[in-house]
Structure 1
Amino acid sequence: MRLLRSRPAPPSPAEPGDVLAEAEDLYVRLGGRAVLHGVSVPVQAGEVLALVGPNGAGKSTLLGALAADLAPSAGIVRINGRPAAEWSAPELALRRAVLPQSATLSFPFTVEDVVRMGRAPHHATTPAEDEIAVAEAMARAEVTDFALRPFSALSGGERARVALARVLAQRAPLLLLDEPTAALDLRHQELVLRLCRERAHAGDAVVVVLHDLALAAAYAHRVAILRAGRVAAEGSPGDVFTEALLSDVYDQPVEVFPHPRTGAVVVTPKRSA
């Protein structure tokens, strides 16, 4: 007699402020090199957390560890209060959705096919529910108009938006996005960060790796500034985005001032006249 394994159940809805993921005293080594050194970061429902810092600071490595895609050499990552290693792959897929820096596919999938891949963890849903989720995700990412085009025929920016739509279709309460704006034009950079804010407002937790400090200041509720594998500062953009700290971390003089209309923090390189 063959025993049928039960399908994993989706997580219960989170309350604002619930910690959906956390790194505690995390150390990660890659290729024999220490990349993260004792990093501790909580990720809370209802917020956008931006990971910023110079190249090689450990941002993508921290994101990969929070996704349970990279095993730490010391310390621990918890998802929904449980060590990440204790979740099965199907259970993880219902709890977190991951957008890598680049998306490549070897087969001629259409845009709609790629977005529908985000529904794979949801075995209990009906086809109608899946179609609604896919259609909504494509509309939010503005990729509906080329739903039947091959993914391989898209530009880099279009592929990035399709990959984001796949993540949105997954409808996991924890979104982990690695440089989602890197290949996008100005309009779609703003679109992506607005979507991050909307997901946080709906109760999800969003972690996003960003190089653009202005975007981080405008859209993140909280930022963690990484330098050489350590957290140099963590808090709201208004608290931690200071000229002294950012100029030191990036080894580049910057100016920090309030936006003349909104009062939000604005960060720009200091340039000579």
Structure 2
Amino acid sequence: MVAAARALTVRRGGRAVLDGVDLEVAAGEVLALAGPNGAGKSTLLAALAGDLAPEAGEVTLAGRPAHAHGARELARRRAVLPQDPTISFPFTSAEVVRMGRAPWAGTAAAAADDAAVAEAMVQTGTTALAGRPFPALSGGERARVALARVLAQRAGTLLLDEPTAALDLRHQEAVLRVCRERAAAGAAVVVVLHDLGLAAAHADRVAVLHRGRLAAAGPPEAVLTGELLSEIYDHPVEVLPHPLTGTRLVLPLRGNGSSR
């Protein structure tokens, strides 16, 4: 276990965005956070990152309360991809990716800066974008460069908020393959996903949030059921095995049978 939330409660505007959430994050796994809009996924990710102080409960990172880590120590332990990465100044893509190496400045690990940046850009297919200004990129290109920055950080825990939202089908699959590779190498990967098919295909565990509470957590085959998802999303959902791979396909029902 590299991170954990215990009885975590976060309030905003008088409303409990998270209410008594218990969740553990383990090394070597991809954990997908799913749930409807407003369920608390991004808030939980921010709390796990140590960027958001809870009103009640506790978040631990590497066995210590998250608030006990200094900013640089946090940056060496976890890397965070926000939902909408924006940079106003005309840094090139390569310069943005190199920002991920900042926590290691002045340490022996800085000797790997060039290699880390190059590797991250290869993994995300952004090498050809190296000299282009970040603000001039398309939404999908910016998303991939921002992910490369996170990968270049080489932290043991990756916290990714909707990394596939702006991407086409090919790049969605590529991003989740990178997540699986990082987990196979020993990292803990927590990723917010709206595409439940991607969660079913790539996650080791899925945690489903609903109205600030943890509705279910476990392997995709145990959690992603038509009954649970229909209730959570307030829309009929069918879950079927893929005819060739057996991976679960999550499909919203449409037509006459879709009303509740």
Q: TM-score range, shorter-chain basis? A: over 0.9
User: Whole-Å Cα distance in 1 between the matches of residues 122 and 253 of structure 2?
Assistant: 39
**1:129 Cα deviation after fit:** 1.5
**Does the residue aligned with 1:138 lie in a helix, a strand or coil?**
helix
- State the one-letter code of the partner of 1:117: M
Partner of 1:61: 43
**Does the residue aligned with 1:149 lie in a helix, a strand or coil?**
coil
Kindly indicate whether residue 157 of structure 2 is the aligned counterpart of residue 174 of structure 1: yes
**1:32 Cα deviation after fit:** 2.9
Partner of 2:225: 242
Partner of 2:87: 105
1:36-66 per-position Cα deviation (integer Å, ceiling 9, x unaligned): 0000000000000000000000000000000
Give structure 1 regions of 4+ aligned residues with deviation exceeding 4 angstroms. Answer: none
- State the one-letter code of the partner of 1:121: P
Partner of 1:3: none
Kindly indicate whether residue 29 of structure 2 is the aligned counterpart of residue 47 of structure 1: yes
1:158-188 per-position Cα deviation (integer Å, ceiling 9, x unaligned): 0000000000000000000000000000000
Moved more, 40-49 or 102-111: 102-111
Partner of 1:136: 119
User: Whole-Å Cα distance in 2 between the matches of residues 127 and 190 of structure 1?
Assistant: 31
Kindly indicate whether residue 198 of structure 2 is the aligned counterpart of residue 204 of structure 1: no
User: Whole-Å Cα distance in 1 between the matches of residues 22 and 111 of structure 2?
Assistant: 41
Query: Out of 77, 80, 84, which is 2:59 matched to?
Result: 77
Kindly indicate whether residue 4 of structure 2 is the aligned counterpart of residue 22 of structure 1: yes
**Does the residue aligned with 1:121 lie in a helix, a strand or coil?**
helix
Q: How does 1:81-92 map to 2 (within 5 A)?
A: 81-92=63-74
User: Whole-Å Cα distance in 1 between the matches of residues 37 and 242 of structure 2?
Assistant: 27
**1:106 Cα deviation after fit:** 2.0
- State the one-letter code of the partner of 1:260: P
Partner of 1:271: 254
User: Whole-Å Cα distance in 2 between the matches of residues 177 and 163 of structure 1?
Assistant: 10
Q: Is the 8 A contact 2:104 2:110 kept in 1?
A: no
User: Whole-Å Cα distance in 1 between the matches of residues 112 and 225 of structure 2?
Assistant: 46
User: Whole-Å Cα distance in 2 between the matches of residues 97 and 113 of structure 1?
Assistant: 17
**1:34 Cα deviation after fit:** 1.4
Q: How does 1:122-201 map to 2 (within 5 A)?
A: 122-123=104-105, 124-125=107-108, 128-201=111-184
When residues 72 and 261 of structure 1 are mapped into structure 2, their CA distance, relative to the original with a 3 A threshold, is same
**Does the residue aligned with 1:120 lie in a helix, a strand or coil?**
helix
User: Whole-Å Cα distance in 2 between the matches of residues 47 and 225 of structure 1?
Assistant: 16
User: Whole-Å Cα distance in 2 between the matches of residues 216 and 193 of structure 1?
Assistant: 9
Partner of 2:19: 37
1:60-115 per-position Cα deviation (integer Å, ceiling 9, x unaligned): 00000000111000000000010001000010010000000011112110000000
User: Whole-Å Cα distance in 2 between the matches of residues 262 and 91 of structure 1?
Assistant: 42
When residues 143 and 74 of structure 1 are mapped into structure 2, their CA distance, relative to the original with a 3 A threshold, is same
When residues 138 and 230 of structure 1 are mapped into structure 2, their CA distance, relative to the original with a 3 A threshold, is same
**1:138 Cα deviation after fit:** 0.6
Q: Is the 8 A contact 2:20 2:213 kept in 1?
A: yes
- State the one-letter code of the partner of 2:212: G
User: Whole-Å Cα distance in 1 between the matches of residues 204 and 85 of structure 2?
Assistant: 27
**Does the residue aligned with 2:2 lie in a helix, a strand or coil?**
strand
Matched residue count: 255
Q: What RMSD, in angstroms, separates the aligned Cα atoms of the two structures?
A: 1.0
When residues 257 and 126 of structure 1 are mapped into structure 2, their CA distance, relative to the original with a 3 A threshold, is closer
User: Whole-Å Cα distance in 2 between the matches of residues 30 and 150 of structure 1?
Assistant: 36
- 5+ residue gaps, structure 1, are 1-18
Q: State the TM-score, normalizing by the size of structure 1.
A: 0.92
Which of the pair is proportionally richer in helix?
2
User: Whole-Å Cα distance in 1 between the matches of residues 100 and 233 of structure 2?
Assistant: 36
Percent same amino acid among aligned pairs? 68
